[in-house]
Amino acid sequence: MIRLRYILVPMAAFFCYATAADAAGGRVHAEMGRQAWFHYLSKNGEMLPGLSSFLSDDSLWHAYYSGCLFPDWGYPGGINRDAGEDCHWREFLDCYFDVLCAKYPPPWDYETKRRIAFFFGVVTHDMTDLPWHFDEGANIAFENRGEREDAGHDANLDMICHLFVQAEYGTLPGLQGTIWFPMDDILEAFAKRGKAVTAAQIEAGRTLLEAASLGTVGFGALSYWHFKMKYPWSHRHYEDYYYGGVQHGAALSAVCIRYWYARLHGWSCLQNMPAYSCRPPGYIAHAPCRDTTIGNMLPGHNAGGEPLLEVARDVAGAERRALLRFTLENISKDVPLADARLWLHVNDCAEQVVVAAHAVNRAWNAGNGVTDNVNGIEGRPAMKDEATWEAPWQSPGCDHADADRDGVPTDSAMISPPKQGGHWVSWDLTPVATRWLAHPETNHGVLLRIEGAGKAAFLSSESFKSRSDEFCGGVRIEARPMLILRTL
């Protein structure tokens, strides 16, 4: 029996590798995408109308999962490694986006939704590859960390984790070994990129990815136990490692899909993406938001780099306020604005409070003050020009009506104690956003302040880790502040 195991395990592993050597483990990307929808995108339907219910049946899920597998089509057998590599990067996504905009303006019929769902899968794969494969400063990518911890420098952790996910989560509904590619859209995107690609090449890659998928379903269980023992750290942490694990990838996928979904409608979803960097052609983070907390108990402190924003007032007079500003330079002024809402994720609130949003009328610098990248709020002594309770205001705390801020709130929101990890709350900023678009020089963001007494804390544009150790999943990136603008 032992000798039979030593024969069957390598045979199963060889089958998987031979059919799709160098592939990045599509089942991992598909799982990241699945969790992105179930944990984040299927909720809060009022944020981006139509998104929460977008994947409404197995056929649309199948298209989405097929997109999650697509970018690795060029690697198996060396079919077209150059084009396969290129479709992992932002420039390809931009070209694909242009093709979809030209061919499929909203509203979308069912067939078009399948094509859009496929594109969202490609977005998921491409974006989640970054923290999976590439280090970012002190953050070690999952692949590199796993190889180091398990002394497996010859390992293909992409395929190994593919086996882990397949064995532990099972086969995805709507993806039973078959993969669908919208060939015409794909070829047009490559043509726009100037890449020589044929339908026959893409079809060959699709067939090999399909074979690999069937191989892991049929034979993966044998290899699973072998690799689980050989790579114990990678098995324990492929889900929760905060830089590149499945949980982190799901949160990142949600951020990016919101961004592209809004753009396909001619809207804008402004939310800070993580500042990943890697080899050319690389990735440029979309980071339109800067924010900070100011407080009268530490009037000279700046908190622009802290992961939390806090608004609070107590009976003794201690107070904190939050400032947020979103860059709107790339938003069209030619299309009437239908709706603009600020969305914040509630992290802490002991009892129900009301928070008012006032348009700010004076320029300020959010700064970079930070003390604790998990729970920090207070910041550190301000450096030159960084916003504090004292500066740059005519009245401390941005409190002078007209000179510092509008006296009348543009909107107020009721904040309730969070349940099960927090929830979203929003403010209607349509009147002031309309003003900002017409007169960009007036865009100094908003001030949030408590009406009455109480306290509420929100995740900031710098939020990332939810625990101080390495295994929190990096899920907070999904809950950074958002300004969503929808046009008529």
Same domain, 263 and 386: no
Same domain, 256 and 336: no
Same domain, 35 and 182: yes
Whether residue 204 is contained in a domain is answered as yes
Q: Which of 165-179, 372-386, 414-428, 433-447 has the lowest mean pLDDT?
A: 165-179
Number of domains making up the chain? 2
> How far apart, in whole angstroms, are the C-alpha atoms of residue 346 and residue 425?
7
Residue 8 pLDDT > 60: no
Same domain, 42 and 126: yes
SS3 321: strand
Report residue 368's pLDDT band, with 50, 70 and 90 as the boundaries. Answer: very high
Same domain, 355 and 238: no
Residue 437 pLDDT > 70: yes
Whether residue 284 is contained in a domain is answered as no
The CB density around residue 169, as the number of other CB atoms within 10 Å, is 16
> How far apart, in whole angstroms, are the C-alpha atoms of residue 435 and residue 456?
28
- Asked if residue 445 lies in contact with residue 304, where contact means CB atoms within 8 angstroms, the answer is no
Same domain, 386 and 469: yes
**Single-letter amino acid, residue 470:** E
Of the three residues 271, 299, 326, the one that is the final residue of a domain is: 271
Give residue 118's domain range. Answer: 2-271
Residue 308: the pLDDT is 98
Whether residue 282 is contained in a domain is answered as no
Residue 307: the pLDDT is 97
Report residue 376's pLDDT band, with 50, 70 and 90 as the boundaries. Answer: very high
- Write out pLDDT tens, residues 186-228: 999 999 999 999 999 999 999 988 887 776 665 566 788 889 9
Residue 136 pLDDT > 90: no
- Write out pLDDT tens, residues 16-70: 444 444 544 788 999 999 999 999 999 999 999 999 999 999 999 999 999 999 9
Whether residue 142 is contained in a domain is answered as yes
- Asked if residue 16 lies in contact with residue 204, where contact means CB atoms within 8 angstroms, the answer is no
SS3 301: strand
Residue 7 pLDDT > 60: no
Of the three residues 271, 299, 332, the one that is the final residue of a domain is: 271
Q: Which of 198-207, 309-318, 416-425 has the lowest mean pLDDT?
A: 416-425
Same domain, 317 and 264: no
Residue 26: the pLDDT is 84
DSSP string, 1-27: -HHHHHHHHHHHHHHHHHHHTT---HH
- Asked if residue 484 lies in contact with residue 269, where contact means CB atoms within 8 angstroms, the answer is yes
* Mean local confidence (pLDDT), 123-137: 92
Whether residue 389 is contained in a domain is answered as yes
SS3 293: strand
Same domain, 170 and 86: yes
Residue 275: the pLDDT is 80
> How far apart, in whole angstroms, are the C-alpha atoms of residue 302 and residue 389?
8
Whether residue 276 is contained in a domain is answered as no
Whether residue 283 is contained in a domain is answered as no
Same domain, 261 and 396: no
Q: Is the pTM of this model over 0.85?
A: yes
Same domain, 80 and 151: yes
Q: Specify the higher pLDDT residue, 461 or 474.
A: 461
Of the three residues 242, 271, 300, the one that is the final residue of a domain is: 271
What is the widest separation between alpha-carbon atoms in the chain? 82
Tell me the two tokens of residue 355: 């928070």
Residue 331 pLDDT > 60: yes
Average pLDDT value over all residues in the chain: 90
Q: What is the 3-state secondary structure (H, E, C) of 387-431?
A: CCCCCCCCCCCCCCECCCECCCCCEEEEECCCCCCCEEEEEECHH
- Write out pLDDT tens, residues 144-176: 999 999 987 667 888 889 889 988 988 776 666
Same domain, 232 and 336: no
Whether residue 26 is contained in a domain is answered as yes
Same domain, 96 and 139: yes
Block residue for tokens 């199963």:
12
> How far apart, in whole angstroms, are the C-alpha atoms of residue 357 and residue 253?
29
31: closest CA among 171, 144, 132, 146?
171
